[in-house]
Chains A and B, each alone.
Chain A
């Protein structure tokens, strides 16, 4: 039961912003939007999460629409090392066992020189 839908792939030029979309039209009021990424043959890495406000950290920005049915992860200046599979996940605020993450297929971002 996929709660999010993402395009299978996209690419962008090195140094440019990468905007990764995610649809989560059935998101509940208590569910957060999380983004993780997985570089080839490594464990996933947390990027950012948000509830309804836009968020920014040292890695990325997360823009959530007002109706919360979609969001966009923005990597402001993509580098070759940002080439990875990016997963958009929705889930309730984690409290122990319900912290499990359900990974969809994600979007493969390829950053070209």
Chain B
């Protein structure tokens, strides 16, 4: 199967700072990547759909100016949490959709644990 990586795996930051999370598809190209957030004991919630070369599409209730998404290449999407606050502490997971549709499933990264102090 295809591999998706995320970096960093874990980050602790102070309130008010910005944090960038990278999502890479290692052995395939992805025109579409997705960003999810998961709070403890809850399910994954889709935040936004990231399209290579165009603006991301955000789900209702997700602030696009707070969660900046850039999908500059077919193998890399980044999520920047700007002016992070403790309530942004969560498990952030990306997934990538292979553009050539050889596969019918999405591939998920291992997740990034964000803790905002």
Contact = CB atoms under 8 A, between A and B. Distances in A.
B68 interface: no
Interface string A8-21: 00000000000000
A106 B51 CA distance: 28
A87 B106 CA distance: 14
Contact of B93 (A43, A46, A104): A43
Contact of B111 (A42, A46, A95, A104): A42
Contacts of A93: 104
Contacts, number: 62
Interface residues of B, number: 28
Could you tell me the dominant secondary structure of chain A's interface residues?
loop
A60 to B, nearest CB: 13
A32 B104 CA distance: 10
Nearest to A49: B104
Contacts of A100: 34, 46, 49
Contacts of A30: none
Contacts of A97: 32, 49, 51, 57
B31 interface: yes
A42 B95 CA distance: 12
B97 A99 contact: yes
Interface residues of A, number: 24
A104 B45 CA distance: 9
B105 interface: yes
A28 interface: no
Given A43-B109, A43-B110, A44-B108, A96 B1 contact: no
Contacts of A42: 110-111
Interface in B57-78: 57
A97 B59 CA distance: 12
Interface of B: 1, 4, 6, 31-32, 34, 36, 43-46, 49, 51, 57, 91, 93, 95, 97, 101, 104-111, 113
